[in-house]
Structure 1
Amino acid sequence: MTTIKDERDEREAKAEQIAAQMPEDRGGILCEAMAAIDAIDAAVLACDDGAAEAAALRYEAAIWKLNGKTYFGCMAGPDAGGVIARKVCSAPDGTAPKWGQAGEFVATVQGTRALVSVSEGFGVRSTHFEFRAVDLDRPFISQTGYRSCFATPTGGATVKQAAEAMLAEHMSNGMCMVGDDYRVRRVEDERPWLAELATQPVEAFADATGQLGFSF
């Protein structure tokens, strides 16, 4: 019977084997991590599950080596291997990330804008999507102005396309205005780069009660 310890030992052994082919310096290891993300993204877009799995193992091995050749505490703080790799390999602010990469951007579906934060879910094989309302005076997919989703990479689709599809699906299930109490919290979600985006044009919409409203 396989135990958790056996699985942990097997994972460490696999990381050691892959990491043995990597440079010893931090910069070189981070280059390996970024190359692994590129490979994950290419494999997902090509619907190649085997290549995606191999690239994910390569990324995890880079984290293992950055973290002092152990997975223990690899996400425990700013100096942990996983945290360093995620920060260095993140997409630029406002740019949709690749699969396996962290980042934030704005998705727009039928005039509804959402700040999308993308990060690892349960390892790089799972993706955590967080949707936050950008225009607090317009209907959104949640009264709180926030929605969290976990998903596996979508073969043949970019992260941006996957996020837009999720947003569209939630919109089809119903929209509502962000509650007054939550608007204050959502203001705290503002990012400096968001101010550079063009504001939404004035347009009419029907709120949850069917009343006609205007967005400025």
Structure 2
Amino acid sequence: MAKHDQVLAELARALPDDREALLDAAKGAVCQFHEAAIVEDMAAFEQARLLREAITWKLNGGSSFGTNAGENSPGYVVERHCAATPGEVPMWGQRGQFIITVRGIRAMIDSGDSFGFGMCHFSFHAVDRSKPFISETGYRSHFMPFPFGYTVKEAAEAVLEEFIESQGRKVIEPRYRDREIPSWIEANDIVAPATYQETNGQGAFGF
């Protein structure tokens, strides 16, 4: 048995055998992971990451092979079980979708579960398709080193702020304006204010 599998096997010995209990333990690992990330406790962060991995390992019959082979594989089962409710800001370690607003630009954030090795990923989707965004397609994907000390929302807002500051606003091309909006976003929430305010105090019209 490889050394890493030995570590997972040791952690798995203290875990329950029941499937539902293991999934609940995964939620507990998410909470530990999130709290450790916020307070920048690296040891607790790594321990929670390994615990989540050990849970997936045990659900997969004591193997790391194929844990994400398909939608019903243990890795994806755990991810879905621990996911945040759409519209609510997830904890670190949860997949989630939520909306942020920075300088009048509203973006739906699709956040990965962030249990990767030192990285996290955000997808930015335009909510208001007829208004300026950070790309002509109304979509932007962004990988970044894990932002210890920030919440998921704070990190996403900081990235969006940087995109606006460094690259400005772009008109979404007409062919990308009719992309489907997730059902949890109410239709009347897709009407943005007519103006936005720049940091220099000057107003600008949305279009």
Out of 191, 195, 198, the residue aligned to residue 203 of structure 1 is 195
Of 49-58 and 144-153, the range deviating more from structure 2: 144-153
Contact 1:141 1:176 in 2 (8 A): yes
Tell me the CA shift for residue 72 of structure 1: 1.0
The residue aligned with 1:3 is none
- What's the secondary structure of 1:116's corresponding residue? strand
The residue aligned with 2:7 is 14
The residue aligned with 2:78 is 85
Q: Which amino acid aligns with 1:11?
A: H
| 1:193 maps onto 2:187 in alignment | no
| 1:180 maps onto 2:174 in alignment | yes
Cα 1:197–1:31, aligned 2, differ >3 Å: closer, same or farther?
Answer: farther
Gaps of 5+ in 1: 1-7, 207-211
Tell me the CA shift for residue 205 of structure 1: 8.7
The residue aligned with 1:127 is 120
In 2, distance between residues paired with 1:175 and 1:26?
48
The residue aligned with 2:147 is 154
Out of 99, 104, 110, the residue aligned to residue 117 of structure 1 is 110
- What's the secondary structure of 2:177's corresponding residue? helix
Cα 1:70–1:183, aligned 2, differ >3 Å: closer, same or farther?
Answer: same
In 1, distance between residues paired with 2:206 and 2:153?
28
Gaps of 5+ in 2: 199-203
The residue aligned with 1:4 is none
In 1, distance between residues paired with 2:19 and 2:96?
22
For this pair of structures, how many residues does the alignment match? 200
Cα 1:66–1:181, aligned 2, differ >3 Å: closer, same or farther?
Answer: same
Tell me the CA shift for residue 126 of structure 1: 2.3
In 1, distance between residues paired with 2:41 and 2:135?
35
The residue aligned with 2:68 is 75
Tell me the CA shift for residue 156 of structure 1: 1.7
Tell me the CA shift for residue 130 of structure 1: 0.5
Tell me the CA shift for residue 195 of structure 1: 1.1
Contact 1:120 1:126 in 2 (8 A): no
Contact 2:110 2:124 in 1 (8 A): yes
Q: Output one character per residue of 1:15-41: Cα deviation in whole Å (capped at 9) or x when no partner.
A: 111111100011111111111110011
Tell me the CA shift for residue 88 of structure 1: 0.5
What percentage of residue pairs aligned between the two structures are identical?
37
- What's the secondary structure of 1:87's corresponding residue? helix
Q: Output one character per residue of 1:36-65: Cα deviation in whole Å (capped at 9) or x when no partner.
A: 110011001111111101110001111111
TM-score by length of structure 1 reads 0.85
Contact 1:100 1:127 in 2 (8 A): no
In 1, distance between residues paired with 2:128 and 2:161?
16
TM-score by length of structure 2 reads 0.89
- In the TM superposition, 1:16-95 aligns within 5 A as 16-95=9-88
In 2, distance between residues paired with 1:119 and 1:108?
19
Cα 1:205–1:111, aligned 2, differ >3 Å: closer, same or farther?
Answer: closer
- What's the secondary structure of 1:193's corresponding residue? coil
Of 37-46 and 72-81, the range deviating more from structure 2: 72-81
Cα 1:9–1:80, aligned 2, differ >3 Å: closer, same or farther?
Answer: same
Q: Which amino acid aligns with 2:74?
A: G
Contact 1:121 1:150 in 2 (8 A): no
